[in-house]
Amino acid sequence: MAQTHTGDLGQPGTLTWLGHASVLAVSAAGTRIMFDPWLENPRSPRGVDEVGPLDAIAVTHGHGDHIGSVVPLARATGATIVCVPEMAAYFASQGLDRLVEMNKGGTVSVADVRLTMVGADHSCGVANGEGQPTIYGGNPVGFIVRAGQGDESFYVSGDTNVFSDMAIIRELYAPELALMPIDGYYNMGPREAAYAVTLLGVRRFAPYHYGTFPMLAGTPAAVADALRARGSSASVVPMEPGDAIALSGGA
Query: Residue 1: which pLDDT band, with cuts at 50, 70 and 90?
Result: very low
pLDDT at 128: 80
* CATH code: domain of residue 145: 3.60.15.10
What is the rounded radius of gyration, in angstroms, for the C-alpha atoms of the chain?
17
Residue 37 has pLDDT above 90, yes or no: yes
Question: What's the distance, CA 89 to chain centroid?
Answer: 21
The total number of structural domains in the chain stands at 1
% of residues, the chain, pLDDT over 90: 88
**Is residue 40 a part of any domain in this protein?**
yes
Which has the closest alpha carbon to 186: 134, 123, 126?
123
Give the pLDDT band (50/70/90) at residue 227. very high
Residue 232 near residue 205, CB atoms below 8 Å: no
DSSP string, 163-204: -TTHHHHHHHH--SEEEEE--SSSS--HHHHHHHHHHHT-SE
Cα distances (Å, whole numbers) of residue 203 to 171, 178, 181: 14, 8, 17
Q: Evaluate if residue 26 carries a pLDDT over 70.
A: yes
Range of the domain at 162: 14-234
Write down the pLDDT at residue 133: 81
Give the per-residue pLDDT at 131: 73
Closest CA to 225 of 216, 236, 241, 214: 236
Residue type at position 241: P
Q: What is the mean pLDDT of the chain?
A: 93
Domain assignment present for residue 89? The answer is yes
pLDDT tens-place string over residues 56-113: 999 999 999 999 999 999 999 999 999 999 999 999 999 999 999 999 999 999 999 9
Distances (CA, A) of 92 to 9, 75, 88, 180, 223: 27, 12, 6, 28, 39
Beta strands per DSSP E along 36-159 = 56-58, 80-83, 99-101, 107-110, 113-119, 141-147, 153-156
Burial of residue 214 (number of CB atoms within 10 Å: 0-12, 13-18, 19+) = exposed
Residue 78 domain flag: yes
Task: Read off the pLDDT of each residue in 131-151 and give the average, rounded to a whole number.
Answer: 88
Say whether 227 sits in a helix, a strand or coil: helix
Q: Which tens digit of pLDDT belongs to each residue from 187-218? A: 999 999 999 999 999 999 999 999 999 999 99
pLDDT value at position 8? 65
* 5 within a domain of the structure (yes/no): no
pLDDT value at 231 more than 70? yes
- Mean pLDDT within 49-60: 96
Confidence of residue 250 (pLDDT cuts 50, 70, 90): low
Contact by Cβ (8 Å): 181, 153: no
Lowest pLDDT segment from 2-11, 18-27, 113-122, 160-169: 2-11
For residue 155, the 8-state DSSP code is E
Instruction: Return the HEC string of 21-71.
Output: CCEEEECCCCCEEEECCCCCCCCCCCCHHHCCCCCEEECCCCCHHHHCCHH
121 belongs to a structural domain:
yes
Arithmetic mean of pLDDT, 109-120: 97
Strand partners, 25: 15, 33
pLDDT score of 91: 97
Supply the pLDDT for residue 4. 41
Q: Is residue 241 part of a domain?
A: no
In a domain? residue 245: no
